[in-house]
Amino acid sequence: MAKKLFIETLGCAMNVRDSEHIIAELSTKEDYELIERCEDADLILINTCSVREKPVQKLFSEIGQFNKKKKPDAKIGVCGCTASHLGEEIIKRAPYVDFVLGARNVSKITDVIHRKGAVEVDIDFDESTYAFSDYRNTPYKALINISIGCDKECTYCIVPATRGEEISIPPELIIQEASKAAKSGAKEIFLLGQNVNNYGRRFSDGRRKIDFSDLLQMVSEIDEVERIRFTSPHPLHMDDKFLEVFASNPKICKSMHMPLQSGSTEILRAMKRGYSKEWFLDRAFKLRELVPDVHISTDIIVAFPGETKADFEDTMDVIEQVRFEQIFSFKYSPRPLTKAAEMEPVDPQIASERLTRLQNRHMEILDDITAAQKGRVFDVYFDELKSGGMVSGRSDNNFIVQVRGSEELLGKTLPVKITEPRRMVLYGEVLQQES
């Protein structure tokens, strides 16, 4: 009888993909099957995120809970970015943890499950050409890694210390994977990396032939691929060629993540982001001009050390000017192994006030954007059943759209008229069935 695997995934899309790789390796090579209750599992894995302090604090209480609930002989493994960063300290603090597997060591999963006390957290390990077995959470879209690691040195960010130096995955492997996934029904391909538009800078074998714009074109030439999305691009590398390919290729979805972090050129310099407020605005305006219906999302860190009131006003000013469709905003959280951790923090009260003001203003902008969608028609690719007889999908420009319906809509792209727009979901009606 197959052994049972429970896996909890925290953090970003790269972790979601790493978990899929773990499930794939364990089900094809070790006869595990995925289950949903940790109480019944033979192996409990938690795939962790280290990007802010809170999730790391939660980790130890969470693995303590798993230890209480688990079957007596079940194993517990800690994977992901916190595994990379804390390493054997995890087993010292929680001796019932059986092994620790770092974010860049996923291919070693079938080995560490057999070695009690194993700690595999080498951030120089190169998995860029490893052929993982196949598993996807959904048949309708495929997450595909195009690079591992990150070569930037943003002074607040722990990721380079948990995922190591950036290496691009060879284009032929990406195309092979995309082609296979699309032929088996994943019409949407989601390309992943910490810095996708820096693609092609370094391969394991030293060659350098193509950049991200070329890769996008290559993926779009696969007949069965209907939609291409990607995350995260870096504003610094949004050159004209990239924006023009983005605008002109009909398969590339018209939704761009532009992680601003701060609107103040001074703070951007202290963060080592490599661009100014003016550059960011220039790119965002160019994008809105090239693709009038584009959806722009962003990440913002409020109260980075040294952020003055005037710096924060610069961030608010960018929000007014760009009118982002989506903002992921966070209070700065000091992280070990980063330069900013040594800098003088902003008063926590002021930090909270700034975050609230930013989020409130964004909600007002979002309400305007949402209301303007009433009566519009979007092509929606349906990929998820929801409760209450609803089916969910996304418009090309990334609005979440739900309609009444059943399984038969899944995997189809259909025109939907928006009847009731809400902040998080636009509700609508399918106009006609696909012929």
Q: Which residues bind ligand SF4 (CB under 6 A)?
A: 150, 152, 154, 157, 159-160, 194-195, 234
Pairing of strands 400-404, 426-430: parallel
| Closest by Cα among 317, 299, 296 to 397 | 296
How many angstroms from the chain centroid is the CA of residue 186? 18
268 C-beta neighbours (distance < 10 Å), count:
25
Distance of CA 99 to the CA centre of its chain: 25
344, 351, 305: which is closest to 330 by C-alpha?
351
Residue 156 in the binding site for ligand SAH (CB under 6 A): yes
> Given candidates 203, 246, 332, 382, which one binds ligand SAH under the rule CB under 6 A?
332
Instruction: Work out whether 50 is an interface residue with ligand F3S (CB under 6 A).
Output: yes
Stated as kind and residue range, the H or E segment containing 188 is: strand 188-192
Burial level of 435, CB count in 10 A (0-12/13-18/19+)? exposed
Q: Taking a C-beta distance cutoff of 8 angstroms, is the pair 215, 178 a contact?
A: no
Could you say whether residue 48 binds ligand SAH (CB under 6 A)?
A: no
- What is the smallest separation between the CB atom of 106 and ligand F3S, expressed in angstroms? 12
Give the residue ranges of DSSP H helices in 184-239. Answer: 212-220
DSSP code for 98 = -
Q: Which partner in ligand F3S, ligand SF4, ligand SAH, none is near 50 (CB below 5 to 8 A by kind)?
A: ligand F3S
Which of residues 14 and 260 has its CB atom nearest to ligand F3S in the complex? 14
What is the number of the residue whose Cβ is closest to ligand F3S?
11
Enumerate residues 86-105 that contact ligand F3S by CB under 6 A: 103
Q: Which of 333, 370, 398, 413 is the binder for ligand SAH (CB under 6 A)?
A: 333
162 part of the interface to ligand F3S, by CB under 6 A: yes
Least CB distance to ligand F3S at residue 84 (A): 8
Note the maximum CA span of the chain. Answer: 63
Q: Is 279 exposed, middle or buried (0-12, 13-18, 19+ CB in 10 A)?
A: middle
Q: Which two tokens stand for residue 16?
A: 């979601």
Report residue 410 as tokens. Answer: 């899944």
Sole window of 158-166, 201-209, 371-379, 412-420 interacting with ligand F3S (rule: CB under 6 A): 158-166
From the CB of 170, what's the least distance to ligand SF4, in Å?
A: 21
Residue indicated by tokens 């693995």:
63
395 beta partners: 380
Strands (E), 156-291: 167-168, 188-192, 227-231, 255-257
Pairing of strands 377-386, 3-9: unpaired
Write the interaction track for ligand SAH spanning residues 246-275; mark x where CB under 6 A is met and - where it is not: -------------x-x--------------
Binding of residue 15 to ligand F3S (CB under 6 A): yes
Nearest to 204 by CA among 159, 235, 166: 166
Name which of 5 and 301 has its Cβ closer to ligand SF4: 301
Q: Which does 301 bind (CB under 5 to 8 A by kind): ligand SF4, ligand SAH, ligand F3S, none?
A: ligand SAH
Taking CB under 6 A as the rule, does residue 51 contact ligand F3S?
yes
User: Among residues 4, 6, 7, 14, which is the contact residue for ligand F3S, using CB under 6 A?
Assistant: 14
Nearer to ligand SF4, 101 or 150 (CB): 150
CA nearest to 91, candidates 115, 124, 125, 126: 115
Candidate list 143, 157, 243, 355; residue touching ligand SAH; CB under 6 A: 157
Nearer to ligand SF4, 338 or 402 (CB): 338
Q: Is 165 in the site for ligand SAH (CB under 6 A)?
A: no
Window contacting ligand SAH (CB under 6 A); options: 94-102, 243-251, 328-336, 396-404: 328-336
For β-strands 413-421 and 377-386, DSSP reports them as antiparallel
Supply the minimum distance, in Å, between the C-beta of residue 154 and ligand SF4.
3
Interface residues with ligand SAH (CB under 6 A) are: 51-52, 156-157, 159, 194-195, 232, 234, 259, 261, 299, 301, 330, 332-333, 335
Interface residues with ligand F3S (CB under 6 A) are: 11-12, 14-15, 49-51, 80-81, 103, 159, 162-163
